[in-house]
A = this chain, B = another copy of it.
């Protein structure tokens, strides 16, 4: 099965969203890409249609941009 790809950039909001996503989906079905640590993947993400992070690119090629309802504490963290 083709995997989903979760792109993030290491911010606290992204990490929270990652934990939520991995808790909801089968973790083995998701590839996690940290764009801050692997800048070579940025072009790949853009080509997939990613406009913001965190975002989940599904096996069908659709992009779900996730705007996590973060607390201010998360944002400041």
Contacting residues, chain B, for A68 (C-beta < 8 A): 62-65
Alpha-carbon distance between A70 and B28 when the two chains are bound, in angstroms: 26
What total of chain A residues lie within 8 Å of the partner, measured CB to CB?
Answer: 26
The answer to whether A69 and B63 touch (CB under 8 A), given A4-B24, A25-B25, is yes
How many chain copies does the complex carry? 2
Secondary structure class of chain A's binding surface, majority of residues: mixed
Top 8 A-B pairs, shortest CB-CB distance: A63-B69, A65-B67, A49-B69, A20-B58, A64-B66, A24-B25, A20-B62, A67-B67
Chain A residues near B (Cβ < 8 Å): 4, 16-17, 20-21, 23-25, 29, 49-52, 55-56, 58-60, 62-69
